[in-house]
Amino acid sequence: RRNAVYVFLHTLEREYIAMKSVVLDGYTTNPGDCSWDSIAKHGGLQVFDRTATDEIQQRAAGAEVVLTNKTQLTAEILAGLPDLKLISVLATGVNVVDLDAARAHGITVCNVPGYSTPNVAQAVFALLLELTNQTALHAAEVRAGHWSSCPDFCFWRGELVELDGRTLGLIGYGAIGQAVAAVGRALGMNVLAVRRRKGVSDDDTTFTDVSTIFRESDVISLHCPLTPETEKLVDASRLAVMKPTAYLINTARGGVVHEHDLAE
């Protein structure tokens, strides 16, 4: 999060310092531990902690640069901002902006790719290890005294799954997918992946198709952007071929998974 703010500030100060700039939802990326001062000292920067949809037009009126993290910029909103030249998304995904409308109005849209790669990879394994080791459950049981009163030294409240020798399937093999693959291999996992860019190579990863990954993986981790092609990619047909013991980790966009099918 801090990296996203710093990258934006560096770019804005270098390229757009004289332009009127508005941050629509500054609190989500900077709750107070970062500083806007390097830009604000030049004037022309207005930061709002949060902006409701019906407040965007008024707050962004006359702005040449708009910054957003999760505040949606629709075609209707963009049509009402004739001075707008740049939208900077303080995140990696740009699906909060109507890209077709931005293109039609000659508005440049940029993002902050790669700022959270190590954090997301860490989050993937934090989630996975909680599922395989049930750490929170066992910690609570120990604190409750159940291990002390157990007649056996070995104490568990559910099956513990070892990742060594298991298959990790990655849907998406960009920077985050590759970082997750590296951790998986360090834990002794075999890595399968689907790659969007055919030029990406890795001698330690087996590249295959989506169907094979869902059929053969013990752990499936999603790292693709949300596009018309990937929306609801994980549906009933994909879920049906997964191993009954497999885990699905989604640190990509929620829309990549068909939530109704998953609940069923």
> Domains (ranges, CATH) in the chain?
2-110 (3.40.50.720), 117-263 (3.40.50.720)
pLDDT at 15 over 60: no
Q: Cα dist. 31→4, 12, 34, 110 in Å? A: 13, 20, 8, 22
Query: What is the spatial distance between Cα 97 and Cα 88, in angstroms, rounded to a whole number?
Result: 10
Confidence (pLDDT) at 13: 56
> Is the distance from CB of 134 to CB of 21 less than 8 angstroms?
no
Closest residue by Cα to residue 105 from 137, 131, 76, 142:
76
CA distance 66 to 18: 14
Query: Tokens 């001698």 appear where?
Result: 203
CB 101 within 8 A of CB 55: no
Q: What is the pLDDT of residues 252-263, one digit of tens each?
A: 999 999 999 999
Task: Provide the strand spans (E) within 90-210.
Answer: 108-110, 167-171, 190-194, 205-207
Q: For residues 223 and 200, is the Cβ–Cβ distance under 8 A?
A: no
The residue-averaged pLDDT of 78-102 equals: 94
CA–CA gap between residue 170 and residue 157 (Å, rounded)? 30
Taking the C-alpha atoms of residue 138 and residue 223, their distance in angstroms, rounded to an integer, is 30
pLDDT of 39 reads 73
User: For 52-81, how does the pLDDT look when each residue is reduced to its tens digit (9 = 90+)?
Assistant: 999 999 999 999 999 999 999 999 999 999
DSSP3 helix / strand / coil % (the chain, rounded to 5): 40, 15, 45
Q: Residue 134 pLDDT more than 80?
A: yes
Residue 3, pLDDT above cutoff 60: no
148-184 pLDDT tens trace: 999 999 998 888 999 999 999 999 999 999 999 999 9
What's the rounded Cα separation, in Å, for the pair 200 and 178? 10
pTM for the model: 0.81
pLDDT classification of 202: cutoffs 50, 70, 90? confident
- Give the span between the Cα atoms of 264 and 262, in whole angstroms: 5
| pLDDT in the model for residue 243 | 98
- Spatial contact of 81 and 58, defined as CB atoms under 8 Å apart: no
Please tell me the predicted confidence (pLDDT) of residue 116: 87
Q: How much is the pLDDT for 33? A: 86
Whether pLDDT at 86 is above 80: yes
Chain segment 211-244, per-residue pLDDT in tens: 999 999 999 999 999 889 999 999 999 999 999 9
> pLDDT tens digits, residue range 16-43?
556 889 999 999 988 988 888 877 777 7
